Each structure stands twice: as structure tokens, then as C-alpha cells.
């Protein structure tokens, strides 16, 4: 039975520190869904001898070896040839792949070089994995009870190929089919989530529960296999229900989606337009929302009123209110959000004003006030965040999005 996985990444650019190994991270995060554990990552340069050595070593200690990188058309790209040789397999031309590569170049209006055709040769007997996003197909070799999978290096090619071919392949291999679901939580820290779920986590082994935190969001993975007559999907949805009843409306999705996407969907479903008035976050909230394709459906505009005077000029904030309460205050946040509604005629607006630091002595770094206005409510809240400038800005944006979500769903604000 397949159990231990090693990810073997090939590329001098990794050893030069030009890029971080995000492919290994992506694959590692996904494999537990199909019952596999990643035991080792290795990185080696574009060097035939060292790659051969690393492959043999990986096969000696792991059941599955997934390589990333080195499938392109240049002389440096040698993963497929080296691995075929190490496994004593001939390289065979695949006419269908050759055809696809030719068509790709025709479609792009580019000239194909002989090197590009190298990408249509594959180790004898392998399964070819189409590349919908580029010219380098991947492949999958089963030999002597081991599985070797070769994936391309660029994440925009690797990720769709992994989702389309690798996950279904292992899902079929699984003796006990697995189901996973990802809940996401906003407004509660990871240690508090762990504490609240401790009895659940300790009391059972199927489903398993794993948490991880990033940028103010905690993701909870729930994975189960079939248990006698009970299907894994039922075990997972039952456990997700238990977790949701403990964590309440801090769980914003059971579909592993970004918070801005949840907010975007809520706005779109309700046919509401959205705008924001930012200060310390400097456009970060607008940037997040507009990273979603189709956001023009709901997103109208943003005013980044960074200097104090611009709050008055662009949003009509009363200068006397700023003088009286200070530029980082609930009062100014409310004036900003109301100003945005008045100026833009948007349905929903949010405002952020705060000190992201590193600051002057008289500025309480981390103090952030956020205001939200919807057709049927108006709220404002003061936060005290800790961390560096980037973290304070990120937490401000996450909490602003959460306040919009709660306002749209008529939920109470978190403590």
C-alpha cells in the first residue's frame, strides 16, 4: 500500500534562492486528502548525476516520488530524460503530444523550435498528463510497486495538472476512500481554536482534524475514511457540524475559500455595490477585492485618503471631528464610511483608519477603527492589533471584510 511520499524538486533557481519552494508546500498540503503523508522534501539542481542520485535515494525510502520542474524546452530541462535513464526506460515519441504542442504554437502565433518537440518524448509505458496551461506535459510511471510522478515547475501549470490528474489517481488507489472538508475561521486565534476543539480532537481518530493559521485566518481540515457502513462524507459533515456549533459564526466557509470571495459572493447574491475608504491599509482592501475575476460586478470604487487633508477633500470628513477625536477614532471612521456612501452612491461601504507603525511616540501603533455601512445598518469598532506594519495592515483588512460579512448576514460583531 502506498503511504510515504517524497517531493523532489529540480531547479537551480531554488538552490540560488530565487524562488521559495511553494510547489512542495502546495502538494504537501493537498496529499493528506487522499490518505498520503509527505515524509521528505528534497531540492537538487539541474544536474544529471545529482538528480539520479537523489531519485535513487528517494525511491529507497519512499513509496511515491513526485518531482517538480525541469520539463521545459531548454537544455537545462532534463528531469524526464534523467529519470527515464535511471529507471532504465526508453524515451518514446507520443504523436498526440507532438500534435498538441504544434497546435499550441499555432494558436499563440509563435514559431516552434526542435527543442519544443523534445517535450513530446516520454519514458516507455508512462501515463501522460496533459498540460492545459503550457507546452510541457507531465507523466506518471508505475514501476516495482512505486509511483513516480513528474510535474512541471511553474505553479500555474503544476496546480491544474495536480488537481486534474494526481488527486483523482490517488483517490482511486485509496483502499479506504477519504473525504476532506476545509472550514475557515476569522476573528479567533489558532491557539484559541485549538483549545475550543481540544476535546473533539483528542476523543477520536476518524475523522482527523488539523488546523493551521495564516494572516488572521485559521483553516481547519477535517478528513475521514469510510467506517464500516458509514460513508466518509457523512463522518466529515457530522464533524463539521460539531465544529461549527462550537465556533459559531466565526466559521465563514466550509469550502476553503478566501474571505474576500465570501464577501464578494454575498454582495453579488444581494445585487449590492461596494466601495471602500482606506487610510492605513493604503488600498490593500480594494486590491484584495479586485483580485477576484468579475469583481467589477460589485466593486465600484475606493478612496485611499492617506494624508489627513485628503479625508476631508475626497470624503467630506468634517475637519472639526478630526481635530476633536483624532484621525484614528470611531468618529472619523464613521464620517469616512458615510462620506463614501454620499459621494459614490454605493450600497455598502467600509472605512479603515489606523496606526500601522512604526510610529511616532504619540501614536498608539496597532489602534485601528473600522466602520461599515449597509442599506440597513451602520457599525463601527475599534481594534488593537499587534505585530509589524505589514501584519497590522493585513489584520485590518481581514477584520474589515469580516465586519462587512457580519453586517450583510445580520450577525453580531465578535468580541
Q: Is 113 in the site for a copy of itself (CB under 8 A)?
A: no
Per-residue contact string for residues 156-185; x = within reach of a copy of itself by CB under 8 A? x-----------------------------
Work out how close the CB of 300 gets to a copy of itself at its nearest, in angstroms, rounded to a whole number: 5
Q: Is 52 in the site for a copy of itself (CB under 8 A)?
A: no
251-253/217-225 β-pairing:
unpaired
Q: Is 109 in the site for a copy of itself (CB under 8 A)?
A: no
> Which is nearer to a copy of itself, 34 or 139 (by Cβ)?
34
Of 28, 206, 233, 244, the one binding a copy of itself by CB under 8 A: 28
Chain residues 273-302 in contact with a copy of itself, contact rule CB under 8 A: 273, 278, 280-287, 289-291, 293, 295-296, 299-302
Report the alpha-carbon distance of residue 136 to residue 69 in Å, rounded.
10
DSSP state of 270: T
Q: Is 19 in the site for a copy of itself (CB under 8 A)?
A: yes
* Phi, psi for residue 94 in degrees, rounded to 5: -105, 110
Q: Is 406 in the site for a copy of itself (CB under 8 A)?
A: no
- 78 near 48, Cβ under 8 Å? yes
Work out how close the CB of 386 gets to a copy of itself at its nearest, in angstroms, rounded to a whole number: 9
- 368 near 328, Cβ under 8 Å? yes
* Cell numbers representing residue 13 in the block: 533557481
Q: Is 58 in the site for a copy of itself (CB under 8 A)?
A: no
Q: Which stretch binds a copy of itself (CB under 8 A): 41-49, 88-96, 122-130, 160-168?
A: 41-49
Report the alpha-carbon distance of residue 317 to residue 340 in Å, rounded.
10
Which one, of 33, 34, 37, 45, lies nearest residue 7 by Cα? 37
Q: Which stretch binds a copy of itself (CB under 8 A): 33-41, 121-129, 141-149, 243-251?
A: 33-41
Of 10, 36, 38, 349, the one binding a copy of itself by CB under 8 A: 38
Chain residues 232-271 in contact with a copy of itself, contact rule CB under 8 A: none
Which one, of 314, 182, 315, lies nearest residue 252 by Cα? 182
Q: Which residues contact 139 (CB under 8 A, 6 or more apart)?
A: 80, 122, 123, 126, 127, 128, 129, 149, 150
Chain residues 183-222 in contact with a copy of itself, contact rule CB under 8 A: 210, 212, 214
Per-residue contact string for residues 313-352; x = within reach of a copy of itself by CB under 8 A? xx----------------------------xx--------
First to last CA, the chain: 48
> Which is nearer to a copy of itself, 97 or 116 (by Cβ)?
116
> Which is nearer to a copy of itself, 252 or 355 (by Cβ)?
355
Which one, of 350, 378, 353, lies nearest residue 366 by Cα? 353
- 163 near 149, Cβ under 8 Å? no
Q: Which residues contact 390 (CB under 8 A, 6 or more apart)?
A: none
Amino acid at each position: 500500500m502506498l503511504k510515504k511520499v517524497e517531493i523532489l524538486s529540480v531547479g537551480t533557481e531554488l538552490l540560488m534562492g530565487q524562488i521559495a519552494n511553494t510547489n512542495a508546500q502546495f502538494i504537501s498540503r493537498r496529499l493528506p486528502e487522499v490518505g498520503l503523508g509527505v515524509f521528505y522534501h528534497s531540492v537538487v539542481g539541474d544536474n544529471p548525476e545529482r538528480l539520479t542520485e537523489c531519485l535513487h535515494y528517494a525511491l529507497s525510502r519512499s513509496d511515491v516520488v513526485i518531482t517538480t520542474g525541469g520539463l521545459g524546452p531548454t537544455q537545462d530541462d532534463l528531469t524526464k530524460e534523467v529519470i527515464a535513464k535511471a529507471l532504465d526506460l526508453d524515451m518514446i515519441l507520443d504523436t498526440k503530444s507532438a500534435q498538441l504542442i504544434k497546435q499550441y504554437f499555432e494558436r499563440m502565433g509563435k514559431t516552434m523550435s526542435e527543442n519544443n518537440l523534445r517535450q513530446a518524448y516520454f519514458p516507455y509505458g508512462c501515463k501522460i498528463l496533459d498540460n492545459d496551461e503550457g507546452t510541457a506535459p507531465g507523466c506518471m510511471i508505475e514501476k516495482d510497486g512505486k509511483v513516480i510522478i513528474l510535474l512541471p515547475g511553474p505553479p500555474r501549470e503544476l496546480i491544474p495538472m495536480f488537481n486534474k490528474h494526481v488527486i483523482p489517481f490517488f483517490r482511486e488507489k485509496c483502499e479506504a476512500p477519504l473525504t476532506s472538508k476545509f472550514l475557515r475561521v476569522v476573528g479567533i486565534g489558532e491557539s484559541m481554536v485549538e483549545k475550543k476543539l481540544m476535546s473533539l480532537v483528542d476523543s477520536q481518530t476518524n475523522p482527523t482534524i488539523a488546523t493551521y493559521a495564516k494572516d488572521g485566518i485559521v483553516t481547519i481540515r477535517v478528513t475521514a475514511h469510510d467506517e464500516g457502513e458509514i460513508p466518509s462524507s457523512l463522518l466529515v459533515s457530522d464533524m463539521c457540524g460539531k465544529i461549527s456549533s462550537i465556533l459559531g459564526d466565526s466559521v465563514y466557509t466550509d469550502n476553503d475559500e478566501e474571505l474576500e470571495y465570501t464577501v464578494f459572493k454575498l454582495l453579488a447574491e444581494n445585487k449590492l455595490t461596494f466601495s471602500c475608504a482606506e487610510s492605513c491599509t493604503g488600498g490593500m482592501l480594494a486590491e484584495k477585492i479586485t483580485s477576484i475575476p468579475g469583481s467589477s460586478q460589485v466593486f465600484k470604487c475606493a478612496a485611499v485618503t492617506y494624508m489627513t487633508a485628503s479625508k476631508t477633500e475626497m470624503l467630506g470628513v468634517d475637519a472639526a471631528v478630526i481635530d476633536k477625536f483624532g484621525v484614528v477614532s470611531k468618529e472619523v471612521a464613521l464620517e469616512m464610511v458615510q462620506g463614501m456612501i454620499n459621494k459614490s452612491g454605493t450600497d455598502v461601504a467600509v472605512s479603515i483608519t489606523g496606526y500601522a507603525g512604526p510610529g511616532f511616540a504619540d501614536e498608539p501603533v496597532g489602534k485601528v477603527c473600522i466602520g461599515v455601512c449597509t442599506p440597513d445598518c451602520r457599525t463601527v469598532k475599534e481594534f488593537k492589533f499587534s505585530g509589524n506594519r505589514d501584519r497590522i495592515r493585513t489584520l485590518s483588512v481581514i477584520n474589515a471584510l469580516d465586519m462587512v460579512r457580519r453586517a450583510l448576514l445580520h450577525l453580531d460583531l465578535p468580541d
